[in-house]
Amino acid sequence: VIEEAPSTFLDPATRKAMGEQAASLVKHVNYVSAGTVEFLVDAQRNFYFLEMNTRLQVEHPITEYITGVDLVELMIRIAANQKLSITQEDLKFHGWAFESRVYAEDPEKYLPSIGCLSKYIEPRSLNDKHEVRCDSGIVEGSEISIYYDPLICKLSTYGETRDEAINTMLKALDSYVIKGVTHNIPLLREVISSQRFQSGKISTKFLAEEYPGGFKGHAVKDESLHELISISAFVHAKRDLRNWSWIDGEGTSFRNNLNKSAPNKWDLWISVNKDIEPINVKVKKKGTNEEEFEIIMPNYPRTIISAKWPLETPLINACLRADNQESRALIVQYIDPLPVGFRLQYVGTKFDITVHNQRQHELSQYMIEKPKEDLSNLILSPMPGSVVSLAVQAGDLVAEGTEIAVVEAMKMQNVLRASRVSKVKKVNIKPGDAVAADEVLVELEDVNKNT
Protein backbone atom coordinates (compact mmCIF):
# COMPACT_ATOMS: atom_id res chain seq x y z
CA VAL A 1 0.00 0.00 0.00
CA ILE A 2 1.31 3.44 -0.97
CA GLU A 3 -0.20 6.71 0.23
CA GLU A 4 0.42 10.21 -1.08
CA ALA A 5 -0.31 13.75 0.05
CA PRO A 6 -1.47 15.98 -1.45
CA SER A 7 -3.45 14.11 -4.09
CA THR A 8 -2.50 14.65 -7.73
CA PHE A 9 -6.17 14.25 -8.71
CA LEU A 10 -8.15 16.49 -6.35
CA ASP A 11 -8.74 20.12 -7.27
CA PRO A 12 -9.26 22.80 -4.57
CA ALA A 13 -13.04 22.81 -5.01
CA THR A 14 -13.38 19.04 -4.55
CA ARG A 15 -11.01 19.05 -1.59
CA LYS A 16 -12.99 21.85 0.06
CA ALA A 17 -16.31 20.05 -0.51
CA MET A 18 -14.96 16.81 0.95
CA GLY A 19 -13.65 18.66 4.00
CA GLU A 20 -17.03 20.30 4.58
CA GLN A 21 -18.81 16.95 4.34
CA ALA A 22 -16.37 15.36 6.79
CA ALA A 23 -16.78 18.23 9.26
CA SER A 24 -20.58 18.05 8.96
CA LEU A 25 -20.51 14.33 9.71
CA VAL A 26 -18.43 14.56 12.89
CA LYS A 27 -20.48 17.51 14.15
CA HIS A 28 -23.69 15.56 13.59
CA VAL A 29 -22.52 12.69 15.84
CA ASN A 30 -20.77 15.02 18.34
CA TYR A 31 -17.43 13.33 17.72
CA VAL A 32 -14.40 14.76 19.53
CA SER A 33 -10.70 13.99 18.85
CA ALA A 34 -8.85 12.87 15.74
CA GLY A 35 -10.75 10.84 13.18
CA THR A 36 -10.49 9.89 9.53
CA VAL A 37 -13.37 10.18 7.07
CA GLU A 38 -12.79 8.20 3.87
CA PHE A 39 -14.31 8.82 0.45
CA LEU A 40 -14.13 7.12 -2.93
CA VAL A 41 -13.73 9.50 -5.88
CA ASP A 42 -14.67 8.69 -9.48
CA ALA A 43 -13.10 9.97 -12.70
CA GLN A 44 -15.44 13.00 -12.75
CA ARG A 45 -14.43 13.92 -9.16
CA ASN A 46 -17.77 12.87 -7.71
CA PHE A 47 -17.08 11.51 -4.24
CA TYR A 48 -18.90 8.97 -2.10
CA PHE A 49 -18.71 8.29 1.64
CA LEU A 50 -16.90 5.05 2.43
CA GLU A 51 -16.34 4.92 6.19
CA MET A 52 -15.06 6.80 9.21
CA ASN A 53 -12.28 5.57 11.47
CA THR A 54 -12.44 7.01 14.99
CA ARG A 55 -8.66 7.22 15.25
CA LEU A 56 -5.58 8.37 13.45
CA GLN A 57 -5.24 6.74 10.07
CA VAL A 58 -2.16 4.67 9.23
CA GLU A 59 -0.97 7.32 6.78
CA HIS A 60 -1.05 10.21 9.28
CA PRO A 61 2.76 10.83 8.93
CA ILE A 62 2.34 12.25 5.41
CA THR A 63 -0.39 14.61 6.64
CA GLU A 64 2.01 15.79 9.33
CA TYR A 65 4.78 16.19 6.74
CA ILE A 66 2.88 18.55 4.42
CA THR A 67 1.03 20.53 7.12
CA GLY A 68 3.72 20.73 9.80
CA VAL A 69 1.12 19.75 12.40
CA ASP A 70 1.71 17.07 15.06
CA LEU A 71 -1.62 15.22 15.05
CA VAL A 72 -0.77 13.07 18.07
CA GLU A 73 0.02 16.16 20.13
CA LEU A 74 -3.34 17.66 19.17
CA MET A 75 -5.11 14.45 20.24
CA ILE A 76 -3.44 14.63 23.65
CA ARG A 77 -4.37 18.28 24.06
CA ILE A 78 -8.00 17.54 23.19
CA ALA A 79 -8.04 14.70 25.73
CA ALA A 80 -6.75 17.21 28.30
CA ASN A 81 -9.73 19.50 27.51
CA GLN A 82 -7.51 22.07 25.81
CA LYS A 83 -8.66 24.05 22.80
CA LEU A 84 -6.95 23.68 19.44
CA SER A 85 -4.30 26.32 18.84
CA ILE A 86 -4.97 26.35 15.08
CA THR A 87 -7.93 26.90 12.78
CA GLN A 88 -8.73 25.37 9.40
CA GLU A 89 -7.49 28.54 7.70
CA ASP A 90 -4.09 28.13 9.38
CA LEU A 91 -3.47 24.83 7.60
CA LYS A 92 -1.44 25.19 4.41
CA PHE A 93 0.23 22.52 2.29
CA HIS A 94 4.00 22.64 1.93
CA GLY A 95 5.84 20.17 -0.29
CA TRP A 96 4.95 16.55 -1.02
CA ALA A 97 5.02 13.29 0.93
CA PHE A 98 4.67 9.55 0.35
CA GLU A 99 4.20 6.61 2.68
CA SER A 100 5.04 3.01 1.80
CA ARG A 101 3.67 0.31 4.07
CA VAL A 102 6.44 -2.25 4.38
CA TYR A 103 4.90 -5.66 5.06
CA ALA A 104 6.29 -9.10 5.84
CA GLU A 105 4.63 -10.72 2.87
CA ASP A 106 5.40 -12.28 -0.49
CA PRO A 107 4.51 -9.60 -3.09
CA GLU A 108 4.07 -12.20 -5.82
CA LYS A 109 1.40 -14.12 -3.90
CA TYR A 110 0.27 -11.49 -1.35
CA LEU A 111 0.81 -14.03 1.42
CA PRO A 112 2.26 -13.19 4.87
CA SER A 113 5.73 -14.28 5.93
CA ILE A 114 6.94 -15.10 9.44
CA GLY A 115 10.36 -15.43 11.00
CA CYS A 116 13.07 -13.68 13.00
CA LEU A 117 14.62 -10.48 11.65
CA SER A 118 18.21 -11.67 11.41
CA LYS A 119 19.30 -8.35 9.90
CA TYR A 120 17.33 -5.12 10.14
CA ILE A 121 18.55 -1.65 9.18
CA GLU A 122 16.07 1.16 8.63
CA PRO A 123 16.82 3.93 6.13
CA ARG A 124 17.51 7.34 7.60
CA SER A 125 17.68 10.99 6.62
CA LEU A 126 21.07 12.07 5.33
CA ASN A 127 20.70 15.71 6.41
CA ASP A 128 18.79 17.91 8.86
CA LYS A 129 15.69 18.07 6.64
CA HIS A 130 14.37 14.80 8.15
CA GLU A 131 13.07 13.77 4.72
CA VAL A 132 12.91 10.07 5.73
CA ARG A 133 10.70 8.84 8.57
CA CYS A 134 10.25 5.29 9.87
CA ASP A 135 7.29 4.51 12.16
CA SER A 136 7.95 0.98 13.41
CA GLY A 137 7.99 -1.03 16.60
CA ILE A 138 10.62 -3.64 15.85
CA VAL A 139 14.39 -4.05 15.97
CA GLU A 140 16.91 -6.57 14.70
CA GLY A 141 16.05 -9.90 16.33
CA SER A 142 12.31 -9.20 16.54
CA GLU A 143 9.92 -12.00 15.66
CA ILE A 144 7.23 -11.65 12.99
CA SER A 145 4.55 -14.16 14.04
CA ILE A 146 1.28 -15.46 12.63
CA TYR A 147 -0.73 -13.80 15.39
CA TYR A 148 -0.44 -10.15 14.37
CA ASP A 149 -0.67 -7.92 11.33
CA PRO A 150 2.42 -8.35 9.10
CA LEU A 151 3.11 -4.58 8.95
CA ILE A 152 6.82 -3.97 9.63
CA CYS A 153 7.08 -0.22 9.15
CA LYS A 154 5.42 2.88 7.79
CA LEU A 155 8.18 4.38 5.65
CA SER A 156 7.51 8.03 4.78
CA THR A 157 9.49 10.51 2.70
CA TYR A 158 9.18 14.24 2.06
CA GLY A 159 10.32 16.60 -0.69
CA GLU A 160 9.74 20.16 -1.81
CA THR A 161 8.31 18.68 -5.02
CA ARG A 162 6.61 15.40 -5.93
CA ASP A 163 9.63 14.21 -7.91
CA GLU A 164 11.93 14.95 -5.00
CA ALA A 165 9.73 12.97 -2.59
CA ILE A 166 9.59 10.06 -5.06
CA ASN A 167 13.37 9.97 -5.52
CA THR A 168 13.89 10.04 -1.77
CA MET A 169 11.46 7.14 -1.38
CA LEU A 170 13.29 5.08 -4.01
CA LYS A 171 16.61 5.63 -2.24
CA ALA A 172 15.03 4.79 1.12
CA LEU A 173 13.56 1.52 -0.20
CA ASP A 174 16.91 0.57 -1.73
CA SER A 175 18.62 1.27 1.61
CA TYR A 176 16.11 -0.70 3.72
CA VAL A 177 17.78 -3.93 4.89
CA ILE A 178 15.38 -6.70 5.98
CA LYS A 179 16.60 -10.29 6.30
CA GLY A 180 14.78 -13.22 7.88
CA VAL A 181 11.35 -12.71 6.31
CA THR A 182 10.03 -12.11 2.82
CA HIS A 183 8.90 -8.50 2.33
CA ASN A 184 7.02 -6.40 -0.20
CA ILE A 185 9.76 -3.87 -1.00
CA PRO A 186 10.13 -5.32 -4.54
CA LEU A 187 6.52 -4.37 -5.36
CA LEU A 188 6.65 -1.01 -3.60
CA ARG A 189 9.75 0.01 -5.50
CA GLU A 190 8.46 -1.23 -8.84
CA VAL A 191 5.21 0.72 -8.47
CA ILE A 192 6.87 3.96 -7.37
CA SER A 193 9.46 3.82 -10.16
CA SER A 194 6.85 3.11 -12.87
CA GLN A 195 6.19 5.79 -15.47
CA ARG A 196 2.44 5.67 -14.81
CA PHE A 197 2.78 6.24 -11.07
CA GLN A 198 5.27 9.05 -11.56
CA SER A 199 2.87 10.74 -13.98
CA GLY A 200 0.19 10.72 -11.26
CA LYS A 201 -2.32 8.65 -13.26
CA ILE A 202 -3.39 6.41 -10.38
CA SER A 203 -6.62 4.51 -9.71
CA THR A 204 -7.81 1.52 -7.70
CA LYS A 205 -7.25 -0.58 -10.85
CA PHE A 206 -3.52 0.22 -10.96
CA LEU A 207 -2.16 -3.20 -9.94
CA ALA A 208 -4.61 -5.19 -12.07
CA GLU A 209 -3.85 -3.08 -15.13
CA GLU A 210 -0.08 -2.85 -14.68
CA TYR A 211 0.44 -6.48 -13.64
CA PRO A 212 -2.42 -8.46 -15.27
CA GLY A 213 -0.58 -11.75 -14.72
CA GLY A 214 0.48 -10.83 -11.20
CA PHE A 215 3.66 -9.17 -10.01
CA LYS A 216 6.76 -11.23 -10.86
CA GLY A 217 9.54 -8.93 -9.72
CA HIS A 218 11.67 -6.53 -11.72
CA ALA A 219 12.41 -7.66 -15.28
CA VAL A 220 16.03 -6.85 -16.14
CA LYS A 221 16.71 -5.71 -19.68
CA ASP A 222 18.71 -3.09 -21.54
CA GLU A 223 19.92 -0.43 -19.09
CA SER A 224 18.92 -2.33 -15.95
CA LEU A 225 20.71 -5.46 -17.19
CA HIS A 226 23.83 -3.38 -17.81
CA GLU A 227 23.64 -1.99 -14.28
CA LEU A 228 23.07 -5.39 -12.66
CA ILE A 229 25.87 -7.13 -14.58
CA SER A 230 28.26 -4.24 -13.85
CA ILE A 231 27.57 -4.25 -10.11
CA SER A 232 27.81 -8.06 -10.09
CA ALA A 233 31.24 -7.85 -11.71
CA PHE A 234 32.29 -5.34 -9.05
CA VAL A 235 31.01 -7.58 -6.23
CA HIS A 236 32.91 -10.60 -7.57
CA ALA A 237 36.15 -8.61 -7.94
CA LYS A 238 35.76 -7.01 -4.51
CA ARG A 239 35.13 -10.38 -2.84
CA ASP A 240 38.16 -11.82 -4.60
CA LEU A 241 40.37 -8.95 -3.42
CA ARG A 242 39.05 -9.26 0.13
CA ASN A 243 40.02 -12.93 0.14
CA TRP A 244 43.50 -11.95 -0.99
CA SER A 245 43.77 -9.27 1.67
CA TRP A 246 43.28 -11.95 4.32
CA ILE A 247 45.92 -14.31 2.98
CA ASP A 248 48.35 -11.57 1.95
CA GLY A 249 48.78 -10.33 5.51
CA GLU A 250 49.60 -12.38 8.57
CA GLY A 251 48.19 -15.51 6.96
CA THR A 252 50.77 -15.83 4.18
CA SER A 253 51.77 -19.27 5.45
CA PHE A 254 48.44 -20.60 4.14
CA ARG A 255 49.10 -19.51 0.56
CA ASN A 256 49.71 -22.22 -2.01
CA ASN A 257 51.92 -19.97 -4.12
CA LEU A 258 53.81 -17.24 -2.27
CA ASN A 259 54.93 -15.67 -5.54
CA LYS A 260 51.38 -15.10 -6.74
CA SER A 261 50.04 -11.57 -6.28
CA ALA A 262 46.46 -10.34 -5.91
CA PRO A 263 44.61 -10.14 -9.24
CA ASN A 264 43.89 -6.83 -10.96
CA LYS A 265 41.78 -8.11 -13.84
CA TRP A 266 39.16 -10.79 -14.37
CA ASP A 267 37.60 -12.53 -17.38
CA LEU A 268 34.13 -13.59 -16.22
CA TRP A 269 30.89 -15.11 -17.46
CA ILE A 270 27.92 -13.74 -15.52
CA SER A 271 24.29 -14.88 -15.67
CA VAL A 272 21.16 -13.72 -13.82
CA ASN A 273 18.66 -16.18 -12.30
CA LYS A 274 19.74 -18.70 -14.96
CA ASP A 275 17.15 -16.99 -17.21
CA ILE A 276 19.64 -14.90 -19.16
CA GLU A 277 22.44 -16.40 -21.22
CA PRO A 278 25.85 -15.85 -19.59
CA ILE A 279 27.50 -12.58 -20.60
CA ASN A 280 31.25 -12.30 -20.99
CA VAL A 281 32.51 -9.47 -18.79
CA LYS A 282 36.07 -8.21 -18.60
CA VAL A 283 36.92 -6.40 -15.37
CA LYS A 284 40.02 -4.37 -14.62
CA LYS A 285 40.99 -2.63 -11.39
CA LYS A 286 41.84 1.05 -11.85
CA GLY A 287 45.32 1.63 -10.41
CA THR A 288 45.68 0.79 -6.72
CA ASN A 289 42.13 1.82 -5.93
CA GLU A 290 39.99 -1.17 -4.90
CA GLU A 291 36.79 0.88 -5.24
CA GLU A 292 37.03 1.68 -8.95
CA PHE A 293 36.90 -0.80 -11.83
CA GLU A 294 36.61 -0.76 -15.60
CA ILE A 295 33.82 -2.96 -17.02
CA ILE A 296 33.71 -4.11 -20.65
CA MET A 297 30.92 -6.32 -22.04
CA PRO A 298 29.36 -6.92 -25.48
CA ASN A 299 26.74 -4.46 -26.80
CA TYR A 300 27.33 -1.93 -24.01
CA PRO A 301 29.75 1.00 -23.75
CA ARG A 302 32.87 0.79 -21.62
CA THR A 303 31.87 1.59 -18.05
CA ILE A 304 33.74 2.77 -14.97
CA ILE A 305 32.11 1.69 -11.72
CA SER A 306 33.03 3.40 -8.46
CA ALA A 307 31.52 1.81 -5.38
CA LYS A 308 31.80 1.85 -1.61
CA TRP A 309 31.08 -1.42 0.20
CA PRO A 310 32.19 -1.36 3.84
CA LEU A 311 32.82 -4.83 5.24
CA GLU A 312 30.24 -4.43 8.03
CA THR A 313 27.23 -3.60 5.82
CA PRO A 314 25.33 -5.31 2.99
CA LEU A 315 24.73 -1.92 1.33
CA ILE A 316 26.74 -1.06 -1.77
CA ASN A 317 26.63 2.55 -2.97
CA ALA A 318 27.77 2.66 -6.59
CA CYS A 319 28.18 5.13 -9.42
CA LEU A 320 28.31 3.96 -13.05
CA ARG A 321 29.93 6.16 -15.69
CA ALA A 322 29.50 4.76 -19.19
CA ASP A 323 31.29 6.36 -22.14
CA ASN A 324 29.29 9.27 -23.59
CA GLN A 325 26.52 8.85 -21.02
CA GLU A 326 25.52 10.59 -17.80
CA SER A 327 26.64 8.88 -14.60
CA ARG A 328 24.07 6.81 -12.72
CA ALA A 329 23.95 6.26 -8.96
CA LEU A 330 22.45 3.12 -7.46
CA ILE A 331 22.19 1.32 -4.14
CA VAL A 332 22.43 -2.49 -4.15
CA GLN A 333 22.31 -5.00 -1.30
CA TYR A 334 24.52 -8.05 -0.97
CA ILE A 335 22.16 -10.70 0.42
CA ASP A 336 23.89 -14.09 0.55
CA PRO A 337 26.79 -16.03 -0.97
CA LEU A 338 25.92 -18.88 -3.37
CA PRO A 339 28.07 -21.88 -4.43
CA VAL A 340 29.20 -20.16 -7.64
CA GLY A 341 28.04 -16.59 -7.11
CA PHE A 342 25.85 -14.60 -4.78
CA ARG A 343 22.39 -13.12 -4.29
CA LEU A 344 21.90 -9.38 -4.73
CA GLN A 345 18.93 -7.10 -4.14
CA TYR A 346 18.73 -4.64 -7.03
CA VAL A 347 15.87 -2.10 -7.44
CA GLY A 348 14.08 -4.00 -4.66
CA THR A 349 14.11 -7.46 -6.29
CA LYS A 350 16.45 -10.30 -5.35
CA PHE A 351 18.55 -11.85 -8.13
CA ASP A 352 20.72 -14.97 -8.06
CA ILE A 353 23.98 -14.13 -9.80
CA THR A 354 26.14 -16.94 -11.20
CA VAL A 355 29.78 -16.04 -11.87
CA HIS A 356 32.17 -18.37 -13.72
CA ASN A 357 35.72 -17.90 -14.86
CA GLN A 358 36.62 -18.96 -18.39
CA ARG A 359 37.35 -22.60 -17.49
CA GLN A 360 34.21 -22.96 -15.34
CA HIS A 361 32.13 -21.53 -18.18
CA GLU A 362 33.53 -24.08 -20.63
CA LEU A 363 32.81 -26.98 -18.26
CA SER A 364 29.31 -25.70 -17.40
CA GLN A 365 28.19 -26.55 -20.95
CA TYR A 366 28.40 -30.24 -19.99
CA MET A 367 26.55 -30.01 -16.67
CA ILE A 368 23.18 -31.79 -16.60
CA GLU A 369 20.38 -29.83 -14.95
CA LYS A 370 18.62 -31.54 -12.07
CA PRO A 371 14.99 -32.33 -13.05
CA LYS A 372 12.33 -30.48 -11.09
CA GLU A 373 10.41 -32.46 -8.50
CA ASP A 374 6.78 -33.19 -9.42
CA LEU A 375 4.59 -31.64 -6.71
CA SER A 376 1.30 -31.79 -8.61
CA ASN A 377 -0.15 -34.47 -6.30
CA LEU A 378 0.66 -32.57 -3.12
CA ILE A 379 -1.49 -29.94 -1.43
CA LEU A 380 1.02 -27.59 0.22
CA SER A 381 0.40 -24.84 2.73
CA PRO A 382 1.00 -21.52 0.93
CA MET A 383 2.04 -19.83 4.16
CA PRO A 384 2.71 -20.51 7.84
CA GLY A 385 -0.54 -20.51 9.79
CA SER A 386 -3.22 -22.74 11.25
CA VAL A 387 -5.70 -25.14 9.65
CA VAL A 388 -9.20 -23.66 9.90
CA SER A 389 -11.05 -26.51 8.22
CA LEU A 390 -10.52 -29.78 6.38
CA ALA A 391 -13.05 -30.86 3.74
CA VAL A 392 -11.77 -34.31 2.71
CA GLN A 393 -10.57 -37.62 4.10
CA ALA A 394 -8.47 -40.47 2.72
CA GLY A 395 -10.21 -42.31 -0.12
CA ASP A 396 -12.36 -39.39 -1.25
CA LEU A 397 -12.65 -38.66 -4.97
CA VAL A 398 -12.33 -34.95 -5.73
CA ALA A 399 -13.05 -32.96 -8.87
CA GLU A 400 -11.05 -30.04 -10.20
CA GLY A 401 -11.69 -27.02 -7.96
CA THR A 402 -12.92 -29.05 -4.97
CA GLU A 403 -12.08 -27.42 -1.63
CA ILE A 404 -9.48 -29.45 0.27
CA ALA A 405 -8.63 -27.27 3.29
CA VAL A 406 -8.52 -23.69 4.57
CA VAL A 407 -5.37 -22.22 6.14
CA GLU A 408 -5.40 -18.92 8.06
CA ALA A 409 -2.67 -16.52 9.20
CA MET A 410 -2.62 -12.82 10.10
CA LYS A 411 -6.37 -12.45 9.44
CA MET A 412 -5.99 -13.93 5.93
CA GLN A 413 -7.69 -17.17 4.87
CA ASN A 414 -6.54 -19.27 1.92
CA VAL A 415 -8.82 -21.90 0.42
CA LEU A 416 -6.77 -24.77 -1.04
CA ARG A 417 -8.39 -26.64 -3.94
CA ALA A 418 -7.68 -29.67 -6.09
CA SER A 419 -6.11 -28.77 -9.44
CA ARG A 420 -7.58 -31.81 -11.23
CA VAL A 421 -9.69 -34.95 -10.78
CA SER A 422 -7.90 -37.15 -8.25
CA LYS A 423 -8.21 -39.36 -5.18
CA VAL A 424 -7.17 -38.43 -1.65
CA LYS A 425 -4.29 -40.73 -0.77
CA LYS A 426 -3.30 -39.39 2.65
CA VAL A 427 -4.33 -36.59 5.02
CA ASN A 428 -1.56 -35.22 7.26
CA ILE A 429 -3.48 -32.55 9.18
CA LYS A 430 -6.56 -31.84 11.25
CA PRO A 431 -8.37 -28.57 12.05
CA GLY A 432 -6.44 -26.48 14.56
CA ASP A 433 -3.00 -27.74 13.52
CA ALA A 434 -0.20 -25.21 13.10
CA VAL A 435 1.52 -25.62 9.74
CA ALA A 436 4.63 -24.23 8.08
CA ALA A 437 4.92 -22.75 4.60
CA ASP A 438 5.18 -25.50 1.94
CA GLU A 439 4.26 -28.21 4.46
CA VAL A 440 2.47 -31.17 2.82
CA LEU A 441 -1.13 -31.10 4.06
CA VAL A 442 -2.84 -33.64 1.80
CA GLU A 443 -1.46 -36.16 -0.71
CA LEU A 444 -3.43 -37.02 -3.85
CA GLU A 445 -3.09 -39.72 -6.49
CA ASP A 446 -4.27 -40.04 -10.06
CA VAL A 447 -7.44 -41.94 -10.82
CA ASN A 448 -9.02 -43.31 -13.98
CA LYS A 449 -11.46 -40.83 -15.49
CA ASN A 450 -13.99 -43.69 -15.56
CA THR A 451 -13.69 -44.31 -11.81
CA dihedral 216, 218, 219, 225 (to 10 degrees): -150
Which amino acid is it at 354? T
Instruction: Please answer whether residues 431 and 134 qualify as being in contact, where contact means their C-beta atoms are separated by less than 8 angstroms.
Output: no
User: Torsion-angle region of residue 110: left (phi > 0), alpha (psi -120 to 50) or beta?
Assistant: left
Three-state SS for the chain is CEEEECCCCCCHHHHHHHHHHHHHHHHHCCCCCCCEEEEEECCCCCEEEEEEECCCCCCHHHHHHHHCCCHHHHHHHHHCCCCCCCCHHHCCCCCEEEEEEEECEECCCCEECCEECCEEECCCCCCCCCCEEEEECCCCCCEECCCCCCEEEEEEEEECCHHHHHHHHHHHHHHCEEECCCCCHHHHHHHHHCHHHHHCCCCCCHHHHHCCCCCCCCCCCCHHHHHHHHHHHHHHHHHHHHHHHHHCCCCHHHCCCCCCCCCCEEEEEEEECCCCCCEEEEEEECCCCCCEEEEECCCCCCEEEEEECCCCCCEEEEEEEECCCCCEEEEEEEEEEECCEEEEEECCEEEEEEEEEHHHHHHHCCCCCCCCCCCCCEEECCCCEEEEEECCCCCCEECCCCEEEEEEECCEEEEEECCCCEEEEEECCCCCCEECCCCEEEEEECCCCCC
Give the residues across from 320 on adjacent strands.
Answer: 305, 328
| CA angle (21, 22, 26) in 5-degree steps | 115
Of residues 15, 45, 55, 77, which has the active-site annotation?
A: 55
Catalytic: 55? yes
Q: How far apart are CA 77 and CA 85, in angstroms?
A: 10
Instruction: Please answer whether residues 154 and 186 qualify as being in contact, where contact means their C-beta atoms are separated by less than 8 angstroms.
Output: no
Active site residues: 55
